[in-house]
Amino acid sequence: MSMNEKKTAPDASDAPGYILNDLCVLADLPVRTVRYYVQVGLMDRPQGETRAARYGAKHLEQLLLIKKWTAAGVSLERIRELLHGAPPPVEERRRARGDVEVRSHLLVADGLELVIEPGRAGLRPEQVRQLFRDVLAAYEGVANPS
């Protein structure tokens, strides 16, 4: 090794340190489920085999993401794509009976109202406020021309 080369220590956060049972407790998932995820390639294989297998922080992170996405109703196939770098979809969600929506209402004038569902419109709160200011200014320009 030359003087310019530095010896780097392995990343401690990724060092395999959990046995399967400990990993399952941390992720709050059954052993059988974790084994299935490894088998179908949703998560990386552990270091070692059988009872000597060890899992690291990366495995725990993968499990927590899989758990979050399955709870949100994402298919295992789509989860596999997301874990391998596919961009998250911007899917149009179907509205169904019983859905709750939050809407913002702007009363511009008598008989003129603007209604926005910011989540579906993809607008952040500050963008909604700016839109309301712009609509009010545009209405003033139309209703009271100089």
Locate 74 and state its tokens.
């994402």
| CATH number for 21 | 1.10.1660.10
Q: Are 86 and 117 a contacting pair, CB within 8 Å? A: no
The total number of residues shown for the chain amounts to 146
Torsion of CA 27, 30, 31, 37, to 10 degrees: -70
Model pTM score: 0.50
Residue 97 lies in a domain: no
Q: Are 57 and 23 a contacting pair, CB within 8 Å? A: no
Same domain, yes or no, for 76 and 113?
no
> What is the H or E stretch that residue 19 is in?
none
Same domain, yes or no, for 23 and 77?
yes
Beta strands in 1-146 (DSSP E): 104-109, 112-116
Domain count, the chain: 2
- pLDDT tens digits, 58-97: 999 999 999 988 888 888 888 888 888 766 555 556 777 8
Beta strands in 53-132 (DSSP E): 104-109, 112-116
pLDDT exceeds 60 at position 3: no
Same domain, yes or no, for 67 and 23?
yes
Same domain, yes or no, for 79 and 119?
no
**What are phi and psi for residue 71, nearest 5 degrees?**
-65, -30
* pLDDT reported for residue 113: 92
Question: Which structural domain range is residue 120 located in?
Answer: 104-143
